[in-house]
Structure 1
């Protein structure tokens, strides 16, 4: 058992990552004692991490229990609106401020990720890394902080749009278009390419959700 005085962020990050990778999904109940045993830490940092996650609306109350929150249709739309504007801005700024080395890394990511088509989980992780690299290439710390908040909420989505048939290959082509616009030092083009990418991802997610509802009826 790790000492109870371990940094709060360790317990917080471990729970958040477990939600992000789907170990805990929307609607799942989080039990303090079970989390402490899973992660090998004492209950105090787990309790504090759960309180923090609840404050951030990543967890919600179901009676006396804490469960992983879910996003309804309206919340999903609101999230994508904010994400589109902020990520579009990040791409715009990256086209101006990214170093040649950062652009080379983005190109390498887009190329390497082709090998992951057909593995939605691995591609989803790679997709997060790619978008994070664009955020960093904006060289605007305040924008990066806001995008971190947005992407925490993305962890509440039960599925990845990259699981849809054909979406993985299409998404990678869109990534390449974003990189080329950034490399061309075209702020408007980079913004438009990233907004188009997220618009298509959102439409795919809406179709997946509609299909899931139909299958449950």
Structure 2
């Protein structure tokens, strides 16, 4: 069964996010149309949109998946830490009891994904997205969507580092505990610390200092 034509953008973005297409890979319109079962027109429009968002870049006449250099990576993590910290702070103040329960359930369920970096990476995105939504600030959610779109340009997840998965879940637990306590300062600090540790792990992975489990 063919996917809806309007899904071309999200299908390509998800493929980049999941590492099917990695930084430097060339994206060919006809290949994408065949892979996703959509016509070339929405594929062409999706590629143009992704290029406008700097997720794809020109290499002659070809479009390739963009990559982040060290400075861009550092800049991205700085912005992410600030915005995510704000989201956690607002979630501690404005999240409904049901939203807090969902966050707690996510942490408990994700323990079953230890040792599964790709599965945990998907769960991690859902967890952070839930915090964004729990902030009840649509403009903040929009900005965080842009940040997380750029995160898709990382070739591997920091959760692939040996031992990082367990530490990350402990950090998630601390974030949720602060939100449950309605402590906005503690929630912000916990999430900022979580992003900082993820960044350190990312730098160590890129330098070869720590070993990937995949």
Alignment of 1:117-132 (within 5 A): 117-132=114-129
Match in the other structure for 1:32: 29
Counterpart-to-counterpart distance in 1, 2:129 and 2:47: 25
Counterpart-to-counterpart distance in 2, 1:187 and 1:202: 23
Match in the other structure for 1:6: 5
**Which of 93, 98, 122 is equivalent to 1:96?**
93
1:2 shift after superposition? 5.8
Match in the other structure for 2:140: 143
**Which of 166, 177, 180 is equivalent to 2:177?**
180
**C-alpha distance after superposition, 1:118-174 (max 9, x if no partner):** 000000000000000000000001100110000000000000000101100000000
The size of the alignment, in residue pairs, is 209
Match in the other structure for 1:159: 156
**C-alpha distance after superposition, 1:61-104 (max 9, x if no partner):** 11110000000000000000000000000000000000111111
Counterpart-to-counterpart distance in 2, 1:2 and 1:196: 43
CA contact (8 A) 1:2 1:42 kept: no
**Which of 48, 51, 54 is equivalent to 2:51?**
54
1:195 equivalent in alignment to 2:192:
yes
Match in the other structure for 1:79: 76
TM-score by length of 2: 0.95
Backbone CA RMSD of aligned residues = 1.4
TM-score by length of 1: 0.94
**Which of 31, 37, 42 is equivalent to 1:45?**
42
Structure 1: runs of 5+ lacking an equivalent: 213-217
**C-alpha distance after superposition, 1:3-28 (max 9, x if no partner):** 9x933xx1100100110111100000
CA contact (8 A) 2:85 2:187 kept: yes
Counterpart-to-counterpart distance in 2, 1:183 and 1:6: 41
Q: SS of 1:61's equivalent?
A: strand
